[in-house]
Chains A and B, each alone.
Chain A
Amino acid sequence: MLNAKLLLAAVVAVAVFGTIFAASSLGPRAQAQNEEKLVQGHALESYTTTGDVLDPEHQDNRINTEEIDPDRYLREFNYGRVSTLPDGTTLREFTIIADDSQTLEVSPGIFYNAWTFNGTIPGPTIRATEGDLVRINFINNGSKSHTMHFHSIHEAHMDGVFEVIAPGGRFTYEFTAEPYGLFLYHCHVQPIEEHIAHGLYGVYIIDPKEGRPPADEMLMLMNGYDTDFDTENNFYTVNGIPFYYMHHPIQIENGRLVRVYLVNILEFDPINNFHLHGNVYDVYRTGTGLTVDESTDMITMSQGERSILEFSYNYPGLYMFHAHKTEFAEKGWTGTFLVME
């Protein structure tokens, strides 16, 4: 009598566990209905899925590309509204508006509260010729104080450090463009690290009077995003979007001189670097001289450092460039040149 009950209990127990086992092993598979998509790993491994693909390296399905557009930024140089002063000096006027309310898609599916100059990361590239008068009409449209601090030579009160511009405030920065070279500008309100890390920076180029040899000129600004605010970057990019030039190779011509204005604005990490595949380049450190400082395939820069790089390719094909701090490379600071015949 007792044993019969026990057997019954055992049967019930087995049935219950069997049901749990079967139900659990079915799991999410039962809901799949979409078409199959391929996820390609870095080596030969791959996986076919009916779910969603998470792949910032091979896909660019961002929603807003206006505010962070690495293709446009690459070759967009702004020379300002040009006029000539009575003494013959060229005046270049720019209007720059700071904002800190935008949420931008800094990598596919990742939204970040960006602080911007003229609504973009990086801010617009300002370009002048040595001796020009540069006038920046700065408007702070943000909810926090901001400034514009330019590298290069100028008077103390044009330095954008002690004259903090309150929300809604304006300031006119005016200085002569000197010396020639590759500079940058950024907000200098404390905490500076925070104001820079959020996106308040851009490039300032001063050309020598006699100009540089003709070349396919482009800008590469190396930055990062600390999206979880742990003072470590989650993403590293060149020109604003991780891996962008992996799926949008930069097209250049075989044999033609390429000039890269390379700027490092990375926060949190003390160094950053640039390695080019299948080539070496001439380095003009800070762009303040016209003689080559070194020829290399690997340049390392500290925070805020800049260099002009010149090279041309001898063989067509697809070549990679990336940070040789490979951690950065695998978190987005990787791209490709497509050398055309």
Chain B
Amino acid sequence: MERPSSVGTGKLVASAVIPLVILGAMIAFLLWPGNSFLNFGTPLPDVTVERLEFGEKLIIAHIRNTGPETVDIAMADVNDRIRPAAIEPSKTLERYGAARVVIPYDWNEGQPYEIGITTSDGTRFAGSVQAATMTPRPDAGQVSLLALLGTYVGIIPVMIGLLWLPFLRQLSQGKYMFFMSLTAGLLLFLGIDAVVEANEVSAETVAGSLGGVVLIATVTVVSFLALLYVSERLVERKSKTAIVGASSVALMIAVGIGLHNLGEGLAIGGAMVAGEVALSTFLIVGFTLHNTTEGLAIVAPVARQKPRIAFLALLGFIAGAPAIAGAWIGGFIASPIASVVFLAIGAGAVFQVVYAIFKFAGGKEKFLSGPVVAGIATGMLLMYLTTLLI
């Protein structure tokens, strides 16, 4: 938009800056040392135990000061019994500062443990695991084990799903639309599932002050819009032929699913660390079944074309491989915040894919035809049923 020529640059800058100056002056007034104008109530400390690790005769708690002010940590306990401990780098935690509390302790495999942290005002904060198990170290063995798990839940099932291509190719237009919509239903379910999962993680381990729910909403929307923008540009820049259009949609689906599988990898790696070993096995079987349907989602748009095998394999890799990265992050370094953010990115990505599928399909048919409605419903129901296995 053209600005009126009568307004000079100086005036423009001034008009932008003046409100900021006034705002700054007001904040300075409120925060001025000695200003007791707004000093009512006692700021309560808040410490979050973000992650527990179990080492050779050691328990390690990763904690974060999620309260409004600097806190001093005075004491650690195991199952509510005071224990000698070390805190690194310092017992003083600035706002949002983090520390490692290391407790020498001869813990028992498979037993539940609660680790308590007491601040200088005598308030205790705790985190727990259901069953202690040695935390995997990022050595070659663990790295390859998690990579293998990621391959099982990510790459292989997606590749299996791709094998439905010849089947899809022989379908009539109505049936094809059914399967396209089925794919959309599957993905819609995955997106909702990711948002719910992110909320769960946020409620359990992310401090209230970090605003888990609004963080999820923000990241999901931004992820959706960013991927939408990129995919539209990608489709625009290519020629308008149907072949490339379909390939682009398939690519965007693969990218979206890949981001989603990153979240699944995080869940699997995280479950291993949290000592939910039995759960982890179920997770893996469940995700494997679940993810086979994702392969279907990728090949559906290109079923009418003759894509090269290498291109299909690449799509499968893009969709499946992030599960490996996710398993590494979840297993070795993830903080709950990272999990929430990745899950939300995955959710946004999947919703974008749903949108892309509808847009792709919408070009050919009336939007809410019978096969489309049946497809979405079947897709969501199918996903729900595979979820019962996890």
| Contact surface of A with B, Cβ cutoff 8 Å | 2-3, 6, 10, 13, 17, 20-21, 24-25, 27-29, 31-32, 37, 39-43, 45-47, 49-58, 106-112, 225, 227-228, 234, 242-243, 327, 330-332
Contact = CB atoms under 8 A, between A and B. Distances in A.
Contacts of B84: 39-42, 53-55, 57-58
A141 B331 CA distance: 58
B107 to A, nearest CB: 10
B198 interface: no
Contacts of B333: 21, 24-25
- Taking each of B58, B75, B98, B311, which has the highest tally of chain A beta carbons within 10 Å of its own beta carbon? B75
B122 A39 contact: no
A51 B91 contact: yes
A104 to B, nearest CB: 11
B102 A110 contact: no
Given A21-B328, A41-B105, A3 B311 contact: yes
- Taking each of A2, A47, A111, A225, which has the highest tally of chain B beta carbons within 10 Å of its own beta carbon? A47
A225 B122 CA distance: 9
12 contacts: A2-B247, A3-B314, A24-B333, A41-B84, A47-B58, A51-B89, A51-B100, A52-B90, A53-B86, A54-B76, A55-B85, A112-B121
A49 B88 contact: yes
A112 B81 CA distance: 20
Nearest to A236: B82
B134 interface: no
Interface residues of B, number: 48
B106 interface: yes
Contacts of A57: 82, 84
- Taking each of B72, B86, B99, which has the highest tally of chain A beta carbons within 10 Å of its own beta carbon? B86
A176 to B, nearest CB: 41
B247 A50 contact: no
A49 B102 contact: yes
Contact of B87 (A13, A46, A52): A52
B161 to A, nearest CB: 19
Interface of B: 57-58, 72-76, 80-91, 98-106, 118, 120-124, 138, 238, 247, 251, 310-311, 314, 318, 322, 325, 328-329, 332-333
Given A39-B84, A331-B82, A54 B91 contact: yes
Do most interface residues of chain B lie in helix, strand or loop, or is the interface mixed? mixed
B90 A56 contact: no
A45 B102 CA distance: 12
A32 B90 CA distance: 9
Nearest to B322: A13
A31 B89 contact: yes
A298 B328 CA distance: 54
A242 B74 CA distance: 13
Given A24-B333, A51-B90, A111-B122, A39 B81 contact: no
Contacts of B88: 28-29, 32, 49-52
A110 B91 contact: no
Contact of B122 (A21, A45, A55, A110): A110
Contacts of A54: 73-76, 84-87, 91, 101
Nearest 5 interchain pairs by C-beta: A227-B122, A109-B74, A41-B104, A51-B88, A49-B86
Contacts of A3: 310-311, 314
A57 B329 CA distance: 37
A26 B74 CA distance: 25
B83 A41 contact: yes
Contacts of B106: 41, 43, 45
Given A3-B311, A108-B74, 14 more contacts: A28-B89, A41-B57, A41-B105, A42-B83, A45-B58, A45-B104, A46-B104, A51-B86, A52-B86, A54-B87, A109-B73, A227-B122, A243-B82, A331-B82
A37 B86 contact: yes
Contacts of A56: 75, 82
A109 to B, nearest CB: 3
